[in-house]
Structure 1
Amino acid sequence: MTINSECLGCRLSNQIEPVNIVFENEYVCCFLDIEPFNEGHTLILPKKHYLDVEELDIETANAIMIASMTISKALKKLFNPDGITICQNGGKFNDLTHYHMHVIPRFEGEPFYCEEQKNNIREKAKFLETKTNLKNLIEELS
């Protein structure tokens, strides 16, 4: 496995840095975003270093999609959102410099993108509870 020790994404996905893991397997690590758009906002990172989607090998790409499906099901059951947004930013818009996918529960009436940083104190305060609930539900669904 290729890990770049200078890459924050590699350090997060391989738990060299602390993360709130809700699911992992040999290919991916899924954890709560530290700047969540909504409670349950989860990031899926491959454990190997990749920058953009076209670099992924088939096994890792499949693992990412399967994880996104599982997390989406769990988020729907846990938070009853109006929808789920699944997205990734590539190239210069990839602020982590490591491929990652966002899985975000969404609610009607909330804007998706804001120029100003969202006040997410409530979501951050519930990290441990959210992590535990989401992790348990994902285990049930897997």
Structure 2
Amino acid sequence: MADCIFCKIIAGEIPSSKVYEDDQVVAFLDISQVTPGHTLVVPKQHFRNLLEMDADSSSQLFARVPDIARKVMKATGAAGMNIINNNEEIAGQTVFHTHVHLAPRYEETDGLQISFETHEPDFPALAQLAEKITQA
């Protein structure tokens, strides 16, 4: 895709700090470095997001994530890792080419905050939603 920054990186039109590359996937350091070592794992084929990917393409992408994440953790000395994939703008996607964020974690104040609000369970509503998803 001509106007996609990740496609331009993959094509070598824009420089990047690559940490991994094969025939299906490339991984490079995110220029914003939310935390030191913040890496993006990107399929070479353009897909808007994970929801557009077929099973084989998504399998190829996610098969590489654990090894790359371990290498990033080893190299940075991180204590943990957030592995994040955002799909569509409402979910935080800003570059519309599928990618997985590897965000090494060092301490609670390392610059990345992810929080989930918890709610009291409504078991009948959960059962109804589960059935709806199963039927979709």
Helix, strand or coil at the partner of 1:98: coil
Q: Is the 8 A contact 2:24 2:60 kept in 1?
A: yes
2:37 alignment counterpart: 40
Matches within 5 A, 1:46-85: 46-85=43-82
Point out where structure 2 has 5 or more consecutive residues left out of the alignment. Answer: 115-136
1:23, distance to aligned residue in structure 2 (A): 0.5
Q: Is the 8 A contact 2:25 2:42 kept in 1?
A: yes
2:113 alignment counterpart: 113
1:63, distance to aligned residue in structure 2 (A): 2.4
Q: How many residues align?
A: 111
Structure number, greater radius of gyration: 2
| Cα distance between partner residues in 1 of 2:33 and 2:93 | 16
Q: Higher RCO, 1 or 2 (CA under 8 Å, sep at least 6)?
A: 1
1:20, distance to aligned residue in structure 2 (A): 0.8
Q: Using the aligned pairs only, state the percent identity.
A: 27
| Cα distance between partner residues in 1 of 2:22 and 2:57 | 10
Tell me which amino acid in the other structure corresponds to 1:96. V
TM-score by length of 1: 0.70
Tell me which amino acid in the other structure corresponds to 1:12. I
| Cα distance between partner residues in 2 of 1:24 and 1:41 | 16
Q: Is the 8 A contact 1:13 1:46 kept in 2?
A: no
1:8, distance to aligned residue in structure 2 (A): 1.4
Helix, strand or coil at the partner of 1:23: strand
| Cα distance between partner residues in 2 of 1:81 and 1:50 | 30
| Cα distance between partner residues in 2 of 1:62 and 1:14 | 22
| Cα distance between partner residues in 2 of 1:90 and 1:40 | 22
Helix, strand or coil at the partner of 1:112: coil
Matches within 5 A, 1:1-142: 4-92=1-89, 93-110=92-109, 111-113=111-113
